Amino acid sequence: MSYEHKELAEGRWGKLSFLEQMANIGSEVERALNWQAKNNRVYSEKAFCRALELMDLTLDAADTFPRRKEIARVREIFADYFFGENEFQSSAVSWRSYFSPFAYAVRKNY
């Protein structure tokens, strides 16, 4: 498999804390949302794919079932929001609300 985040895929991702992983995923989600708002489908899709890639790396690194379950559900709802029928009725606001606390927590800890 070809990774966009090659260095992270080679093991560095697993060394990050869960909060750091989620904050990084949130950054890609934010990029996807911003490009979507600007009607730039190409860049939005690229950011979407990078976010999915980071979610997959997080799933691989997850050491507990609850964590795996949460990431898998987030991935499912995120894909549904961008390319499905949005059956979970998520929005750009709800995605920002979900990921913002992770970024805040990481900034607060450093």
- Coil vs helix vs strand at 98: helix
- The answer to whether residue 110 scores a pLDDT higher than 90 is no
* Model-wide pTM > 0.75: yes
DSSP string, 44-84: HHHHHHHHHHHHHHHHHH--SHHHHHHHHHHHHHHHHHHHS
> What percent of the chain is modeled with pLDDT above 90?
81
- For 88, half-sphere exposure in the C-beta direction (CA atoms, 13 angstrom radius) is 17
Backbone angles phi, psi at 35, to 5 degrees: -70, -35
Residue with tokens 């995605």: 95
Tokens found for residue 97? 């609300």
| Mean of the per-residue pLDDT values of the chain | 92
Express each pLDDT in 14-35 by its tens digit: 899 999 999 999 999 999 999 9
Confidence class of residue 109 from pLDDT cuts 50, 70 and 90?
confident
Tokens found for residue 75? 């991935």
Number of Cβ atoms within 10 Å of the Cβ of 99: 22
Q: Let me know: does 74 contact 55? Beta carbons within 8 Å.
A: yes
